[in-house]
A and B are shown apart, each in its own frame.
Chain A
């Protein structure tokens, strides 16, 4: 397993905000693009998330929030994983982690400061057998 994957030293005592990408793997393979082939959801709908089920999900956050990104594939026999998340490092530095006892990955990070407006981020996915990750072109965001 790559060295940058690690286990958290402490078990979280509060529920993190989960951001889930539902990915259509054959669709992404066919077009070599994530556009139109993934749907973002989070667990902050009651607190005002917008763009639910789209590529431009906007998740409300505040300093100290724990964020967790993971993937659910639309077609269960396909392989998709998050390869990286690019976001302003002054706001969050997501780390690659794995569910203990498995090789299933997720990404997690802490919101380092309150967000005034909107902080876009980009997710890169490993899709099927492709060696080159495919990045999102739309801009989901963390919002204040």
Chain B
């Protein structure tokens, strides 16, 4: 069984919760409201008003508009690569969304060597969606396939920011061999993976 898991270099890693961008947007809204409440309760003090508004502004950020009704990218705030809401020009240091695989095609699929499909799961990675395929290992040979990958570019359209899709393809191949089955991670025979039976508490909580 093959799983394809795309990740973006120079971005927040895919190990953060799948709702991370939405959660950070909600947190920054809450922080802005708290600052605003503090500002209004001290409305008589005009000397602090500018500083107070500046504090509110630090949490407001830029919310993106959906590129299309079915877009997977929600209407959340633009984050930087360290997970903070960007309040200045978002095009300077924004975090890119994870790449999206949109299809798997080619000889390996046409000849039914692989049966790729997109699956949804409660997985915390890849927004719960991932591509997987079972392989017919009875027919040795090299089988090419094409990954269709969609990246997203931050664009300003009619005064709003939008994640615009940009499509790419990536050529790859499978070598189906008749060698004895072995563990692909360890290179050894088929058996248990070398995971310690009892994880150490200190590492598990790090």
Contact = CB atoms under 8 A, between A and B. Distances in A.
A114 interface: no
Given A100-B83, A101-B24, A129-B198, A26 B193 contact: yes
B119 interface: no
B83 A99 contact: yes
Interface stretch (B12-20, B135-143, B154-162): B12-20
Q: Which of A41, A75, A83, A104 has the most CB of B within 10 A?
A: A104
9 contacts: A11-B86, A11-B87, A29-B194, A42-B9, A76-B3, A100-B24, A101-B23, A126-B203, A128-B195
A116 interface: no
A75 B194 CA distance: 13
Interface residues of A, number: 42
Interface in B1-33: 3, 5, 7, 9-17, 20, 23-24, 27
Interface size class of B (residues with CB under 8 A): 35 or more
Contacts of A43: 9-10
Contacts, number: 121
Interface in A13-59: 13-16, 18, 20, 24, 26-27, 29-30, 41-43
A97 interface: yes
B123 A76 contact: yes
Interface of A: 8, 11-16, 18, 20, 24, 26-27, 29-30, 41-43, 68, 70-73, 75-76, 79, 81, 83, 97, 99-106, 108, 126, 128-131
B164 interface: no
A29 B92 contact: no
A131 B203 contact: yes
Interface string B45-83: 000000000000000000000000000000000001111
B188 interface: yes
A75 B83 contact: no
Nearest to A96: B206
B83 A29 contact: no
B110 to A, nearest CB: 28
Contact of A26 (B81, B84, B85, B186): B186
